[in-house]
Structure 1
Amino acid sequence: MDEQIDIVSPPSFGRAFGEKHFMFKPGFIHLNQGSYGGYPRPVRDALRSVQDAVQAEPDNFVRYTYPAKLDEIRGILAEHLHAADKDEIVLVPNATTALNTVLRNLRYQPGDMIAYVQGTYGAIEKTVDYLVESTPVESVYIPFDPITDDDGTLVESFRSVLQEHRGRVRVAIFDTIMSMPGLRMPFERLAQTCREFGALSAIDGAHGIGLIDLDLDKLGADFLTTNCHKWLFVPHTCAVLYVALKKQQLMRSSLPTSHGFQPLPEVLQMKQYISPYELPASKNPFVFQFSYTGTIDNGPSLCIPAAISFRKEVCGGEEAIRDYCQSLARKGEKLVVEILQTRTLPMPESKRVAFANVQLPLEIFSGVSAEKAGLVPLADVPKVIDFILQSLARDYNTFVNIAFISGSLWARFSAQVYLELQDFECGAKALKELCEKVANKEYV
C-alpha cells in the first residue's frame, strides 16, 4: 500500500488573513510594507517574550544569554541566505547603519572614488557626500533613469564608468531592489562587473530578505545589507550585514565603536584595556565586534525564528508569499492605472517584485510661469508630496509612498499577504481625489 502523503492547502491570503494574524487598526489599509514593515501577532508574542526575559535578569541576559542566542540566529540567517559561513553575517539596526559601517571603515587615498547608481537611497548618497567632504575620496554616479532605461543600459553604463576610472573606483554601491520606483535591479551582473574591474561591491539590499531569494555564496559580493524589518515580518529595527570572510580585515570597527574593537599594537603602546567583554579564543574577531555595540533593544533580532516559522507554517513558505504578492502587485498596478488614467513602468516581468508603480495624473511645470490650470510648479513638488502623504495618513486611513522621478510624480504600492485587490482600489481612489485637490491648488 502506498504511503499516504498529507497535502497542505495554501492559505487564503487577503483581508481576512490580515485581520486574523496582523495588528493593523480596523479600517486601516497598509499599502506601504516596503517602508517600515508590519509583523504578525506570533512575532509580537515572541518580542514580548524576549522583553520579559531581559527584564527578568537584565545583566545575565544582555551579557551572556543574548550573545549565545545571537549566534544561533546568525546560523539560521546563513542558511536562509545561502551564506557559506555564519561568521559572514552580523546583525545591525538597519541598512543605513550597515552601509555606513562599510563605507566609513574603508581607507581612502587621493584619487580613490566611490561609484553609485543614480537613484541610490538618499541617506546613502548623502553618506557618500559626507565622505567626499571629510576624506580624500571622490564620487562618481552611474546614470540610470528607471522610467526609460533597461537592465542592459544600466549594466553598460556601470561598466563604462568602471572602465573610465579603472583602478580608481574603490567601491561601487548598487541596489538589489531600487526603492523608488520599486523594481528589481540586475545586481548579480553588477557584482560580476565589480569583480572584473577590481572594485569592491557594496550592495544595498534594504529590500531583499523576504522579498526575493538571495544566494550570497553564489552572488559573490564583498558587502551586502538587507533589512529584516521590511519584508521578513521582523519588528524594527533589524538588518543583516554580510561581509565576505576575505574582506573582513577591512572592517576595523563596528559602528559605533565599542568593546569589541581591537586597537593596533602601535596604538595600544603601554595601554591595557580591562573589559568585561573579552574576545573568546573561539570567536571570530569581526563577529565579536558586532555582538555588543552598546545598549540596544535585544528583541527584534531574536524574533527572526518566529518570523521565519510564521512564513513557513502559516503562510506556506517563501514561494507562496512571493507568488501571491507579485500577482497582487501586477493586478493592482493594472487597476490603479485604469483608475488614475496614467501609466506604469515599461518593465519586463523579470523585474517584478511586490511593488506596483504608477504615475500620478499631475503635470509638473518647470517654466518661468506655472499659472496654467492643473499644472504643478517644479518648486512646489516637495510641498505637494507632503500634502498627499499627510492627507493619505490623516484623512484616508492608508499610506502609499510618493516620489518625484524623472520629471513626474509616482506612487509605489506594496503588495502583501494581508491585502487584496480592493485595497489597491481604495488607495487609487484616494490618490485620484488628492490629485484633483492638488490640481486645484488646495495644497497651498
Structure 2
Amino acid sequence: MGDATSDLHTRAKSEPVQFGHSLRDSQFLFDPSYRNLNHGSFGTIPLHIRNLMRQYQDQAEGKPDPFIRYTYPMLLDESRAAVAKLLNIPTETCVFVSNATMGVNTVLRNIVWNQDGKDEILYFETIYGGCAKTVDYVVEYNRGLVQSRCVPIFYPCPDEDIIQNFEKAVAEVKKEGKRVKLALFDVVSSNPGVRFPFEAITAACKKHGILSLVDGAQGIGMVKLDHLGEVDPDFFVSNCHKWLHVPRGCAVFYVPVRNQGLIRSTVPTSHGFEAVELPGRGKRANPLPPNGKGYFVNGFQFVGTVDNAPYLCVRDAIKWREDVLGGEERVRGELIKMAREGGKLVAGALGTEVLDNEAGTMSASAMTNVALPLPAEEIKANGEGPAVHAYILETLMEKYQTFVAVFVFQGRWWARLSAQVYLDLEDFKWAGGVLKEICEGVVRGEYKKSA
C-alpha cells in the first residue's frame, strides 16, 4: 500500500490523477461491494492518511509522556498553521475541536446572556438537528435569560430572499423590545444539502451588532473558504473529517482575537481554564509544560486524555490533496460539477427535479438534492412516514450496499447524494435506477411487509 501511494504521489506531480473508481480502488478503504454516496455525513480517508494517523498513535504508545506533553503540541501547531493558511486567517485564531457540534456548543455555553432577559438567538429553518437541540438546551438552562427564534426559508429561492427573511426577523425582535444577541447559520446546510449565503448573513450581523456563529460542518474542503478572514465572522467551525480527508473527528474552530475573551472555557473544562481568583483560594496549577501561547490557544491544546491523532493529520491531508489530487481549486471544481451533473442524472431517472434556484447558488457545493416521486401527503396522513423512511434506508444498505440521505423537507421527500473524488457519473446513474426501484416499492406498499 505504501508503494502504491508513493507511486501515485510521483505521477501526480507530472499529471493530475484521474478521479473515479481507479482512485477508490487504489487509495481508499471501501469494501469492494459498497458504493459510498453519502460522504457528507461522515467522510472518509485515503490509505496514506490512515497510515500516518497510525504512526502518530504508535509514537504516543511508544513514549506516552514525551509525545503527549512535548511532541504533540509541536505537531499540533504545524497542523494549525496549515489550516490557517488554507483559510487565510492568523494561526493564533484557530484551534481544533472534535466536531462542528462541539464548536457550536463551546460558543453557546460560553456566551454570557444579559440579565434583563431580552436576548434572543436567531437560527434558520434548516439548522442541523444537534445544533437545534443545543439552542433548546441553552434556552432551558438559562431560565428566561435568552429565547430563540427560527427564521423561515422557502426553497427554492434566491439568496436575497434568505437575507430579507433574516432582516425581517431582526426587525420583529426589535419591535418587541428585545435584541438579537447571536445568530447561528450554515455554510452548507445538512438537509437539504445546499450552499447558504453565509457571507451576506455575516455582513448583516455586523450591521446590526449581532454575534455571528457560522456552522461550517459541511465546509472546508468542499466550498471556497480562503476568504474567511475577509468575511470575518465572530465564530466559525468546520469539520475537517467530512470533506478535507482528515480522520474522524476533527474540526477547525476559528475565533478572531477580538472575541477570544468570550470563550472562557473549553467543553469540557480542562487544565487550560483559569478561574477568577476568589478570597481564600489560590490559583490552580496547570500540570502541563508552559508554552507561552495565549489563553485561547493554550486552552484547546489539551482537553482531557483522548486520541487527538486526527488533529495531527490535517497538515498531511492538505498536502496529500495538493500533491495527489491537484489542489483545492481542482477538487472543489470537479466535485461541484459532478454533483450538478449527477443530480440531473438521478432526477432524470426519477422523473423529478434537483433542488436549486435560477442563479444556481444553492447547488454550488458537492452535494445534490433530488426530489423523490413519493405521495408525501398520503404517507403523512396515514402516519407512515417513519416506516417509509426506515424501509428506504434499510433497503439501500441491505439490498444495494449503499446509503443515501433521505428526508422530508417542506412537504416533499428528497434524497441527498454526495460527489467525491472516488466516484464518477456512473455511480449517480446507478443510484437513480436504485432509487426509482425503491420508490416503486414504497408505492406498492413493500414497507408494510417489512414492518
Aligned to 1:209: 220
Q: Which residue of 2 aligns with 1:3?
A: none
Instruction: Indicate which of 103, 110, 119 corresponds to 1:112.
Output: 119
**Matches of 1:169 and 1:88 in 2, distance apart?**
25
Which whole-Å CA distance do the structure 1 matches of 2:195 and 2:354 have between them?
A: 15
Q: Is there any run of 5+ residues in structure 1 with no aligned partner, and where?
A: 1-5
Paired letter, 2:113: Y
Q: 1:438 aligns with which of 417, 421, 442?
A: 442
Matched, 1:28 2:13: no
Match of 2:254 among 242, 246, 252: 242
User: Structure 2: which 5+ runs fail to align?
Assistant: 1-11
**What is the alpha-carbon distance in structure 2 between the residues aligned to residue 57 and residue 70 of structure 1?**
17
Question: How far did residue 209 of structure 1 move?
Answer: 0.6
Query: d(CA) in 1 for partners of 2:271 and 2:380?
Result: 53
Q: Contact (CA 8 Å) 1:362, 1:376: kept in 2 or not?
A: no
User: Which residue of 2 is the match for residue 389 of structure 1?
Assistant: 393
The total of aligned residue pairs comes to 427
- Offset at 1:23? 1.2
* CA–CA separation in structure 2 for the residues paired with 1:241 and 1:70: 14
Report the more deviating stretch, 199-208 or 161-170.
Answer: 161-170
Shift of 1:118: 1.1
Change in CA separation of 1:52 and 1:278 when aligned onto 2, cut-off 3 Å:
closer
Could you tell me which amino acid in structure 2 is paired with residue 115 of structure 1? Answer: L
1:415-438 CA distance string (max 9 Å, x none): 011101111122222211211221
Contact 2:376–2:412 (CA under 8 A) maintained in structure 1: yes
Describe how 1:45-84 pairs up with structure 2 within 5 A: 45-83=51-89
CA positional deviation for 1:137: 0.6
Structure 1 residue 427 corresponds to structure 2 residue 436? no
Instruction: State the alpha-carbon separation in 2 of the partners of residues 247 and 279 from structure 1.
Output: 23
Q: Are residues 269 and 340 of structure 1, via their aligned partners in 2, closer, same or farther at CA, if it must alter by over 3 Å?
A: farther
CA shift, 1:378, in A, is 6.0
CA–CA separation in structure 1 for the residues paired with 2:166 and 2:100: 22
SS in 2 for 1:183: coil
Whether 2:287 is the aligned partner of 1:276: answer: yes
- What are the within-5 Å matches in structure 2 for residues 120-269 of structure 1? 120-135=127-142, 136-145=145-154, 147-166=155-174, 168-214=179-225, 215-266=227-278, 269=280
Could you give the per-residue CA deviations for residues 216-250 of structure 1, whole angstroms, max 9, x where no partner exists?
A: 21011000000000000001000011111101111
Separation (CA, whole Å) in 1 of partners of 2:241 and 2:47: 15
Cα distance in 2 between the residues matched to 1:138 and 1:277: 39
How far apart in 2 are the matches of 1:269 and 1:404? 58
Is 1:38 aligned to 2:44, yes or no?
yes
Question: Counterparts of 1:378 and 1:89 in 2: how far apart (Å)?
Answer: 49
What does residue 334 of structure 1 align with? 344
Q: Structure 1 CA distance, aligned partners of 2:289 and 2:206?
A: 36
- Which amino acid in structure 1 is aligned with residue 298 of structure 2? F
Q: How far apart are residue 441 of structure 1 and its match? A: 2.0
**Is 1:414 paired with 2:418?**
yes
TM-superposed CA distance for 1:31, in Å, is 0.5
Instruction: Give the AA of the match of 2:395.
Output: S
User: What TM-score do you get using the length of structure 1 for normalisation?
Assistant: 0.93
Deviates more, 1:30-39 or 1:301-310: 301-310
The 2-side partners of 1:254 and 1:278 are apart by: 18
* One-letter amino acid matched to 2:305: T
Are the aligned partners of 1:42 and 1:306 in contact in 2 as well (CA < 8 Å)? Answer: no
Q: Relative to 1, partners in 2 of residues 1:378 and 1:286: Cα closer, same or farther, differing over 3 Å? A: farther
**Structure 2 Cα separation of the partners of residues 258 and 425 of structure 1:** 50
SS of the equivalent of 1:177 reads coil
| Distance change in 2, residues 1:269/1:385 (3 Å) | farther
**Who is 1:102 aligned against?**
107
Farther-moved stretch of structure 1 (349-358 vs 285-294): 349-358
Partners of 1:131 and 1:79 in 2: how far apart?
A: 33
Contact 1:260 1:277 in 2 (8 A): no
Runs of at least 4 residues off by over 4 Å: none
Q: Which amino acid aligns with 1:48?
A: R
Between stretches 69-78 and 254-263, larger displacement belongs to: 69-78
Instruction: Select 2:313's aligned residue among 281, 284, 303.
Output: 303
